[in-house]
A and B are shown apart, each in its own frame.
Chain A
Amino acid sequence: DAKTTQPNSMESNEEEPVHLPCNHSTISGTDYIHWYRQLPSQGPEYVIHGLTSNVNNRMASLAIAEDRKSSTLILHRATLRDAAVYYCILRDVAPGSARQLTFGSGTQLTVLP
């Protein structure tokens, strides 16, 4: 599986935007970029995914570099409830590829009031 690299931790102030980076220099053409987050004492939850174009949903935006070797998850206004571990995951959709998610250690986001 192609590997992702994320900072171990980041801090943000409440109601300010947060940009969470992810490097994936060995990404293949059939890898989608997925983001999940895990709030304290809960299972991971899906946030967003994309292939080449930037994506927006009600939770966040995903900005993907033109060469696809990096991406950034953007939370437009962080709230205290956004404090979580954020995982950047590559999912290969080529036939025969693994179905499971391969998690790294993620980025622990702390939101300060």
Chain B
Amino acid sequence: DTGVSQDPRHKITKRGQNVTFRCDPISEHNRLYWYRQTLGQGPEFLTYFQNEAQLEKSRLLSDRFSAERPKGSFSTLEIQRTEQGDSAMYLCASSQGTGQETQYFGPGTRLLVL
């Protein structure tokens, strides 16, 4: 257990539905990252926050995706109008934002869109 938790761990939804995932980082970490991982591939960066500010977004993050970190603590990732191609593992990581910034990953949320 790295101290980063994600909820839910698994989500099955129908195409066109909205889903929201939550990440609780290690409490003293000011940076929070979202990644997506499909089968057989390494994780791909989606977006990251420093405190409550969203500082960078990947081109992978289409208009249907939105992420928030309202008080600089937990974060949510919402996918609107899900598509089958959104099926993946969604990983959250946090770091202290200093030094080499070791990132601590949560267990991920596995999304299946039917």
Contacts and interface: CB of A to CB of B under 8 A. Distances in A.
Interface of A: 32, 34, 41-46, 49, 85, 87, 91, 93, 98-106
Interface of B: 2, 4, 31, 33, 35, 40-45, 48, 55-56, 91, 93, 97, 100-108
A103 B91 contact: no
Contact of B100 (A45, A85, A91, A98): A91
Contacts of A101: 33, 35, 43, 45, 93, 103
A42 B107 contact: yes
Quick one: which of A43, A49, A101, A104 has the most chain B CB within 10 A? A43
30 contacts: A41-B107, A42-B107, A42-B108, A43-B105, A44-B43, A44-B91, A44-B93, A44-B103, A44-B105, A45-B2, A45-B104, A46-B103, A49-B100, A49-B102, A98-B56, A99-B31, A99-B33, A99-B48, A99-B56, A99-B101, A100-B33, A100-B35, A100-B45, A102-B45, A103-B35, A103-B42, A103-B43, A104-B42, A105-B40, A106-B42
